[in-house]
Amino acid sequence: MEGVRDLLERLRSSGIPIEKQVENALSKVFIGTFTDFSLETFWNDRPTPFLVTKNDAVKTISAPHMILLLLHHLELKRGQHVLLMGAKGGYMAALIDYIVGNDGMVTVIEPHEEVLDYTSDRLVFHNSSGVIRTIPIGSMNDYLFDKRVDRVLITGSIREIPLEIEGAIEEGGFVLGPFGGPIQQKLLKKERQGNEWIDTDLGAVIFGPMDLSEAEKGPLNPTVIAELIQDVIEIVEDMMEIDEETKERIEDLIYSLKSMPSEIPELDFNASDEEIIEHPVYDLIMAEMEWISPIWPLFEQLLSFQVDSPIKWDFEESSMIGGHEDLVP
């Protein structure tokens, strides 16, 4: 496992916290069991693809530095029940299983059917310490209350804790995940204390959507565009003042997009110019372009930014750019 040792040394020297139990887990659980893609991206601290769906969306295992940070903040102990929302191909579940041990349990909830099937198939080859079970998101209520949950790790962007999960968490247990919109989120630790939830802000992160099917929606999906506009405005408001009239127009546009009928035809990324121009979402945006156009360059800039890696690699071919990219929306 020379690749793992070298990777961990580099991450440790860059200031990433690595507990002994986490180091042992990464040394024992082989990343190659969970992907058939090249492992070079993983050794170079990059997200590693494990699946390309039928709709050509790429699903990845997180970059190692992000995996280590998540495991560090989960504060795992032996015998715990950990709920993992978002399968990551099974690799994260296998690491957690190794740490919580023989008396522990890992429940994997995955909203995307292809990813769920893939994860279940790969975990067959993992020599589990305790119990690992994979369930579709629609079956949460059938499984969560048979054993209370100590920790929840959410591996994709989400705006709030699902009520089914919130009700299953033990007193003193907590949820760790990227809360926010599609462009950027805050990594929050939400701890349950009685009927209260105490938030600890662990910094800004960029994750892909919790449900991979969101990444498979076409370029003129009204819900996706509305979410992007809402996220950009939240970022802009922290940087500059927006006049009330513009705010109201933006809110009206977001509402109009989210209110569009579900039977609107879905366009793929190969749609012709004629198909795009005739699409009702395009028509709605063009009708608002007179007031949108002055701020549109700012939208484009915010939708294309990148984050630097915590590691500065000392060899050119494996330099890291782009930071933690779970999935590019």
Q: What is the pLDDT averaged over residues 100-119? A: 93
Q: For 291-316, how does the pLDDT look when each residue is reduced to its tens digit (9 = 90+)?
A: 777 767 766 665 544 333 444 444 34
Q: For 230-286, how does the pLDDT look when each residue is reduced to its tens digit (9 = 90+)?
A: 877 777 777 777 778 888 888 888 888 888 887 787 776 677 878 888 888 888 888
C-alpha–C-alpha distance, residues 104 and 1, integer Å: 26
pTM given for the model: 0.74
Helix 20-28 and helix 91-100: axis angle, to 10°? 130
| Alpha-carbon distances of 149 from 79, 84, 164, 227, 276, rounded to whole Å | 11, 10, 11, 30, 46
Domain ranges within the chain, ordered by starting residue: 2-206+308-318, 215-302
Q: Which of 3.30.360.10, 2.60.40.10, 3.40.50.150, 3.40.30.10 is the CATH number of 2-206+308-318?
A: 3.40.50.150
Q: What DSSP character marks residue 157?
A: B
Q: Is the pLDDT of residue 318 over 60?
A: no
Look-up of token digits 């997009």? 257
Q: For 47-86, how does the pLDDT look when each residue is reduced to its tens digit (9 = 90+)?
A: 999 999 887 788 899 999 999 999 999 999 999 999 999 9
pLDDT of residue 95: 98
| Alpha-carbon distances of 184 from 144, 227, 295, 326, rounded to whole Å | 29, 11, 19, 12
Across all residues in the chain, what is the average pLDDT? 83
